[in-house]
Amino acid sequence: MKSHPHVAAIFRRTFLVTLLSLITSSLLCPATASAARIFIDPGHGGAYPGAVYSGIEEQYVNLLIALETRAVLQSRGHTVAMSRTGDTTVCSKDIPTWNWNEDDQQYYLSADGRTGAYPIPYDDLQARCDKANTWEADVFISIHNNAGGGTGTETYYNSWDTVTDTGPSKVLATYLQQDIVAAAGTYDRKVDDVGYYVIRWANMPAALVEVAFLDSSADRSRLLSSTFRHKVAVGIANAIDHYLSAKLITPLEPRIAGATRYETAIEAARSGWSNGADTVLIASGENWPDSLTASPLSYRLDAPLLLTPRAALPANVAAMITRLGAKNVIVLGGTAAVSSAAAAAAARAAGIDPSTVVRFAGATRYETAALAAESLGTTPGAGVVVVSGETYVDAVSASSFAAMRGMPILLTPKSSLAAATSAFIARHSAEVTSAVIVGGTAVVSSAVEAALPDTVSVERLAGPDRYATNLAVVKRFWPEGDISPYAATAHNFPDALAAGGLAAKNGQPVMIFGWRYLDKGTREFIMHENDRLRGWTIMGSYNALDYLLDWELAKARRLPPPS
């Protein structure tokens, strides 16, 4: 792989750490900290032994320190994952890795087999990052030992001057340096910023520790001592506890959130409809199928979506209906989803007769979607959207663009086109001349696509997973111009579905993420499109999207620290 100074070259700019809170913090005892998810990367291993002196391989002592660190951290209640637990190669095959392109000064995922400089290829390094990222760790710590005619400990954080790197990553590195030196008595070689691969491409705050020098006989002797390794492990654990106690991971982006899914929907309504709304949509907060089609209705009717449990409308939802000044109530789904009592309570909150509540309810989710589509109507030339009725996530990706373009969202099972969907298209054959299928053949089969009329031109937006499908939608419908996406969870429906109508109202896409997981393809998109990204609105509380995701997004955007 073609190298770049920010990725492959080892350059070090010495600086003075002046963080007063770090200077005054305790060096001997860890501060009280909450249990966390700690990812430990013992550098090298297997085919890549690292430095070797007097028969001692770096991978060996790296692993011994890492295993001891794991034991100490687990004894303190932390959860620990490791990139390797033996003398193994983490990755020996070609996988997508990050490549710097000199022509347009961009990073790209590359699977062309090119590798980094000795002593370890980027494929193996990327696999370590992938493990930490998918595991959704709080921090990433890579353990190494040095060579080159010196002695002592030094610690690195990523050299990008981002709010994440100069903030949490630098603080983590500083605690690691001071606490290892204090616990193990090593010479203090200070903290530096270097663009090492693993701490750059790990999404979360990350640091790399060079504990000691293998080519120093004195340091090597210490590394072979279990007592010394235990002291180093205690120092690392102390540093992690100090870092966690600093509570640096707080929200960076605006967030629409409530304590419950119902309150989050209320806050979305408050955000998007501050001047009130004539109509409100009511859907189940306990199940998702009936609310999949809400976004186009929300946009067409300028109506917020509010959620309710089946049995009874929450008092705060009723209060929001009254506050909005709504005079029309539309319920999505039958009484098995939203009871007559809940619908009547919504009517009372709106000051209308319960008999005037409009309810779209079919015998199946597919019929309910078709009824909602009939109410929405068709827009000549706009077409329809077809998504799986067996999972909700692709409908979230489709929600905003479908609403903005007046495209009804129709549902189908995987294997065959739903009868209600087929009938709707047939009834509107003059207007429906195109369809966008969102999702791959694993959720909407080729048989469904083939069952659409020959008069309907079909475009499928899909990727190998939900994140790639989401990106395909964003790239297709927001190919240029400034964007301020709404970030929604890919793993639970209520907050994500509430995002669709609000995002459409503001002309923005919905992008999906794990709880604290930034997919590598999404990270690539964010990096490439950063010049037109104007920020995010996070949908949902910490339980939907962790505050750590804010910092991962900032690292991907290379968002600079405040001046």
Mean pLDDT of the chain: 91
Label residue 12 by pLDDT band (50, 70, 90).
very low
Summarize the confidence of residues 182-186 as an average pLDDT.
98
> Is the CB of residue 212 less than 8 Å from the CB of residue 146?
yes
How many other C-beta atoms are found inside a 10 Å radius of the C-beta of residue 63?
Answer: 23
CATH 3.40.630.40 is held by the domain 13-245: yes
Which percentage of the chain shows pLDDT scores above 90? 83
- With a cut of 70, say whether residue 3 has pLDDT above it: no
Burial degree of 513 (CB within 10 A; 0-12, 13-18, 19+): buried
Q: Are 193 and 199 in contact (CB under 8 A)?
A: no
Contacts of 527 (CB under 8 A, 6+ apart): 106, 107, 556, 557, 558
Q: What is the pLDDT of residue 5?
A: 31
pLDDT at 168 over 70: yes
pLDDT-derived band at 276 (thresholds 50, 70, 90) equals very high
Give per-residue pLDDT as tens, 434-465: 999 999 999 999 999 999 999 999 999 999 99
Phi, psi of 412 (to 5 degrees): -150, 150
* pLDDT tens string 352-385: 999 999 999 999 999 999 999 999 998 888 899 9
Determine which of 110-124, 214-228, 235-249, 534-548 has the lowest per-residue pLDDT on average.
Answer: 110-124
In the chain, domain spans: 13-245, 255-557
pLDDT number for residue 112: 61
CA nearest to 296, candidates 436, 477, 505: 505
d(CA 393, CA 438): 10
* Helix, strand, coil percentages, rounded to 5, for the chain: 40, 20, 40
Q: Which two tokens stand for residue 453?
A: 């009329």
Cα distances from 232 to residues 27, 163, 224, 394, in angstroms, run: 13, 29, 12, 47
Residue 279, strand partner residues: 328
Better-scored residue on pLDDT, 100 or 47:
47
CB-neighbour burial class of residue 362 (10 A; exposed 0-12, middle 13-18, buried 19+)? middle
Count other Cβ atoms within 10 Å, centred on residue 545. 31
Q: What pTM does this model have?
A: 0.91
Taken in order 311, 312, 316, 320, the sign of the CA dihedral is positive
At residue 26, the pLDDT reads: 39
Question: Residue 493 belongs to what H/E stretch?
Answer: helix 493-505
pLDDT score for 327: 97
pLDDT of the residue at 9: 28
Average pLDDT over residues 505-519: 97
Alpha-carbon distance of 306 to 498, in angstroms, equals 8
Given a cut of 80, whether residue 27 has pLDDT beyond it is: no
Q: Tell how strand 486-489 and strand 457-461 pair up.
A: unpaired
What per-residue confidence (pLDDT) applies to 19? Answer: 33
Per-residue confidence at 257, pLDDT binned at 50, 70, 90?
A: very high
The SS3 assignment for 561 reads: coil
Determine how β-strand 153-157 pairs with β-strand 206-213. antiparallel
Q: How far is CA 265 from CA 271, 308, 426, 495, in A?
A: 10, 10, 35, 7
* Residue carrying structure tokens 């006989």: 217
CA distance to 116, 215, 239, 389, 459, per residue, from 396 (Å): 38, 56, 40, 12, 18
- Which residues does residue 53 pair with via DSSP β-bridges, in sequence order? 56
Please state the φ and ψ torsions of residue 57, each to the nearest 5 degrees. Answer: -85, 140
Q: What is the pLDDT of residues 68-105, one digit of tens each?
A: 999 999 999 999 999 999 999 999 888 889 987 777 77
pLDDT of residue 99: 83
Q: What is the mean pLDDT of residues 116-139?
A: 89
Q: Which helix (H) or strand (E) covers residue 353, if one does?
A: none
Q: How confident is the model at residue 495 (pLDDT cuts 50, 70, 90)?
A: confident
For residues 193 and 98, give the distance between their C-alpha atoms in angstroms, rounded to a whole number. 19
Which residue do the tokens 């609403």 mark? 403
Token pair belonging to 436: 């966008």
